[in-house]
Amino acid sequence: MSQRTLPSLFKPRSVAIIGASNGKNRAGNVVMRNLLSGGFSGPIMPVTPKYEAVQGVLAYPSIEALPMKPDLAIICTAATKVPAIVERLAQFGCKVAIILASAMALQSDEEGNNLLELTRAHAKRYGMRLLGPNSLGMMLPNIGLNASLAHTSALPGKIAFVSQSSAICTTVLDWANNKGIGFSSFISLGDATDIDFDELLDFLGRDGRTSAIMLYIDSINEKRHFLSAARAAARNKPILVIKSGRSMEGTTAAKLHTGGIGGNDAVYEAAFRRAGMLRVNDLVELFAALETIAHSSPLQGERLAILTNGGGPAVLALDQLMLAGGKAALLEKDTIEALDNLLPNTWSGQNPIDIGGDADAKRYCDSLKILMDANIADAILILHSPSALGDSMEIAEGIVNVIASHPNRNRVNILTNWSGEDSAYRARKLFNKASIPTYRTPGGAVGAFMHMVEFRRNQKLLQEVPQSIPDNIPTDATLARQLLNEALDKNKRVLETHESSRILAAYGLNTIETHFSKDAEHAVSIAEQIGYPVALKVQSPDIHYKSDVQGVMLNLTSADEVKQAANAMINRVHSLDQSATIEGLIVQKMALTAGAQEIRVAVLSDPVFGPAIFLGEGGSEWQPTTDAAVALPPLNMALARYMVIQALKSHKLKDRHLPLGLNMHALCVMLTQISHLIIDCPEIAALDLNPVLCAGEQITLLDVNIQLQTCPSDNTNRLAISPYPKELEQYATLKNGLEIMLRPILPEDEPKHLAFDNSLSDEDRYKRYFGVRSKMTHEEMAVLTQIDYAREMAFIATTKGEDGDDITLGAVRASIDPDNTEAEFAMAVRSDHQGLGIGKLLLEKLISYYKTNDTELLTGFTMFENRNMANLAKSLGFTVTFDMEEQLIKMDMPLKSAQ
């Protein structure tokens, strides 16, 4: 993959149409017509041996006859001709081609070669990029490019739309044109055989002409690239996503549509949330959200005021707001007094503000001014129901004028809903023209507002600083993996509670005391040894849920009860299924369940995103995909807390408010440690903890099932999100004998990193930031500490203070371009610890990391005043050059040759 060729897709200077045609219903005719009508200023070159000219434009008989190398080619021919055309275009020097033909993966040439694989191989050999096949094409309205089969052109604007479905493209296009909403890019991905969502997100996330991104997704191919690109882009601009396949049947249909892998919808939902994207469930929601994004400023808060001329619609809007977890604005005394002087004395004196069914344009406008003047709401929803006493159009015109002239128009978002059809249509068109969001129903308006709220909450979550896990909780990957591999060596594929306890204990996860007995007599002996009361469970690989066969007996208090329960249990299993193998019995110390709550935690491997963690109530009817909250590892304490809150909000988990019930901190520690266990131990294919007993701070795993797998040879891509690379930690000793640790930065480092940044002298800050700058904000520091290890790296040097807490002494960081060609670094060392060799150790570590990463070039800049940095770089092998014009020192190290 190469981002360097994507500018040819987004900024083509010349276009060739292969298979251009004068035939009315031919693809080559529609594409030519669209290109010529769009206003594209570059050469448009039809290629066809059939015609001398296509739609009045001189045609070329072959690719080789073209007068120049086209930046972009649109291939409009049948699928069978595509591989040869792609090879000739690539040899000719074309950088990007759009393939419109469909079903290429299902066809072969005369020699039996798959058409799609052959096409891909030709393009890869010459470094050419492909959009499609099965693509509708693309539009770049800002440069007048309509290289598509669409029935109409897109208007210019600042929203990028990328879709795997051509039909969704044309539907969205029709709606947006009717609303006057424009696009910076409008791209039909088709089957995404080469250019895919991840690269487009990388490009669009950096694109100054794009302020928001919308995606229609059937399936994801490259989980890690997709999530990494989405997380980076979502920090800068909103990303809305609509995903098909919410049902099992829909997932199957989506697989057939794009040929992608059918993943679990609940895991997709978790992935979107983790990346900071906003999911909408259908086209109605998508259009409402698109309307809001096109015309709104970022929310300053979550308070909504409702201004209305009718009580019913306002109550419906308020109901929806509260049920969706929104916040109604509270009117302050001054605002109420101002409205009292304006409105009939029958008004309610609270939000929603009902100004009466006889409200005219003046009453609407004066009320709106009062609300916009007051700092009580972050958004105002204006509702209007048809009335013979107030002219709908006159009111709309007045509101447009108030908003346009009000000094707070960028602080307070305005949303409108003019109910009705004929009487409301002209007003809605007026709002569209004035870039004021307008909706057909009060519910649609509130739904769109809540999308803005959800996006704001997602962004705040991405910046939350997690607590550290208490130091006394172990994380012993070496021991856990040793025990797992011993089990695999014995050809075991499933571990039950009594076989799992030491593995789980290596991560501070407590199981109830559990023993395996071969028969009833042995069970009695164990019970006598561990003390009554005990629980007895049948052990059989053929029984998935023990409770289904009454294979669990609790609170047994004597030898006789144990013996009777054991025999009855074995007889019951045999009577229900004679073929069932009974391996023995499990004897457990009875847990003290009074005042405690049982929950269930599982880890399952999703075919798209890999391991995912599920949290819910449990029970034999439990369906993890519908009955549990889902999160992707790696989890930290903040992300685990968010997962628990999601589970409680969606009622997948119920807090029963028992005396020793759910303890948020203890739950988060358990979930975070399970995440560590899954990351560290690829031998674990699946994990089911059912039930888990929550008794305040004490959490006990009562029943455990671990499914094992042979460790995959390539473990790097198993997880959807790059985990903290613990293997990069190292210790070193400075010149003065001080012991330090060099390691990658963590989100938990934010407070210490802020202290480090504040410790720099004014001179060091000036050198680091190339000028004077104020202290870092929380938002800025979150970006520096919550990094995506897949696309950037920051190493810090730490030491222990007198109080035992870590102190950050230095930091070096580098971000890498999407092609992994160049990493640009920056470095700083605490002012009172310079000259001890910290900078050298950090830079050596960064060089080593990027050499291992196969990066081509490490580069950096420093000011003329910072000669020490330049000398250090030179001593480590960098080429140092001076840019007299910019007054900067440039440091370059080619890493491939350095190897």
Give pLDDT, residue 582. Answer: 87
- The CATH code belonging to domain 1-135 is 3.40.50.720
Give pLDDT, residue 257. Answer: 42
* Residue 581 DSSP label: -
Average pLDDT of 367-375? 96
pLDDT at 714 over 90: no
pLDDT in tens, 100-111: 999 999 999 999
- Same fold for the pair 154-280 and 296-462: yes
**Which single residue is written with the structure tokens 């307008």?**
438
Candidates 880, 868, 803, 879; CA nearest to 836 is 868
Give pLDDT, residue 876. Answer: 96
Give pLDDT, residue 250. Answer: 47
Give pLDDT, residue 423. Answer: 73
Q: Where would I find the H helices in 412-512?
A: 422-433, 442-462, 477-489, 497-505
Give pLDDT, residue 261. Answer: 55
Give pLDDT, residue 798. Answer: 97
Candidates 229, 313, 312, 296; CA nearest to 451 is 296
Least confident of 583-592, 691-700, 739-748: 583-592
Question: Of the CATH numbers 3.40.50.10190, 3.40.50.261, 3.40.50.970, 1.10.3430.10, which one belongs to the domain with range 296-462?
Answer: 3.40.50.261
Q: At 246, is the pLDDT very low, low, confident or very high (cuts 50, 70, 90)?
A: low
- In angstroms, the Cα distances linking 527 to 245, 305, 593 are 51, 65, 19
Q: At 4, is the pLDDT very low, low, confident or very high (cuts 50, 70, 90)?
A: low
Compute the distance between CA of residue 660 and CA of residue 690 in angstroms, rounded to an integer.
19
Give pLDDT, residue 146. Answer: 98
% of the chain residues with pLDDT over 90: 73
pLDDT in tens, 69-86: 999 999 999 999 999 999
Q: At 50, is the pLDDT very low, low, confident or very high (cuts 50, 70, 90)?
A: very high
pLDDT at 342 over 60: yes
pLDDT at 627 over 80: yes
pLDDT in tens, 301-339: 999 999 999 999 999 999 999 999 999 999 999 999 999
Q: Which of 98-107, 454-463, 715-724 has the highest mean pLDDT?
A: 98-107
The string over 592-615, giving b where at least 16 C-beta atoms fall within 10 Å of a residue's C-beta and e elsewhere, is ebeebbbbbbbbbbbebbbbbbbb
Give pLDDT, residue 658. Answer: 84
DSSP 145-200: EEEE--SSPPPEEEEEEEES-HHHHHHHHHHHHHHT--EEEEEE-TT-SSS-HHHH
Q: Cβ distance 446 to 321 under 8 Å?
A: yes
Give pLDDT, residue 540. Answer: 83
More confident residue, 711 or 17: 17
Average pLDDT of 633-651? 93
pLDDT in tens, 662-707: 999 999 999 999 999 999 999 999 999 999 999 999 999 999 999 9
Q: At 617, is the pLDDT very low, low, confident or very high (cuts 50, 70, 90)?
A: very high
Q: Cβ distance 680 to 616 under 8 Å?
A: no
The architecture of the domain spanning 154-280 is: 3-Layer(aba) Sandwich (3.40)
pLDDT in tens, 179-193: 888 999 999 999 999
Average pLDDT of 448-475? 83
Q: Cβ distance 798 to 741 under 8 Å?
A: yes
The architecture of the domain spanning 728-898 is: 3-Layer(aba) Sandwich (3.40)
pLDDT at 560 over 50: yes
Q: Where are the domains of the chain?
A: 1-135, 154-280, 296-462, 728-898
pLDDT in tens, 279-296: 998 888 888 888 888 788
pLDDT in tens, 407-449: 999 999 999 999 987 779 999 999 999 999 999 999 999 999 9
pLDDT in tens, 759-803: 988 888 877 777 777 788 888 888 889 899 988 999 999 999 888
Q: Cβ distance 859 to 891 under 8 Å?
A: yes
pLDDT at 488 over 50: yes
Average pLDDT of 739-764? 92
Q: Cβ distance 734 to 719 under 8 Å?
A: no
Candidates 796, 799, 797, 790; CA nearest to 823 is 790
Instruction: Return mean pLDDT, the chain.
Output: 91
pLDDT at 749 over 90: yes
Reading the block at residue 37, the tokens are 């009508």
Reading the block at residue 381, the tokens are 């929803």
Q: Where would I find the H helices in 223-344?
A: 223-234, 248-258, 265-274, 283-295, 311-323, 333-340
pLDDT at 630 over 50: yes
**Which pairs count as long-range contacts for 150-157, CB under 8 Å and 24+ apart, including other chains?**
150/34, 152/177, 153/34, 153/37, 153/38, 154/182, 154/183, 154/186, 155/180, 155/181, 155/182, 155/183, 156/182, 156/183, 156/184, 157/181, 157/182, 157/183, 157/184, 157/294
Give pLDDT, residue 899. Answer: 43
Q: Which residues have CB under 8 Å from 46's CB, separation 6+?
A: 16, 17, 20, 28, 32, 53, 54, 55, 57, 58, 59, 60
Compute the distance between CA of residue 752 and CA of residue 270 in angstroms, rounded to an integer.
30
pLDDT at 829 over 80: yes
Q: Cβ distance 380 to 353 under 8 Å?
A: no
Q: Cβ distance 17 to 46 under 8 Å?
A: yes
pLDDT at 1 over 50: no
Give pLDDT, residue 3. Answer: 54
Q: Is 726 left (phi over 0), alpha (psi -120 to 50) or beta?
A: alpha
Compute the distance between CA of residue 547 and CA of residue 536 in angstroms, rounded to an integer.
12
Please report how many Cα atoms fall inside a 13 Å half-sphere around the Cα of residue 669, on the Cβ side.
23
Reading the block at residue 203, the tokens are 């490009």
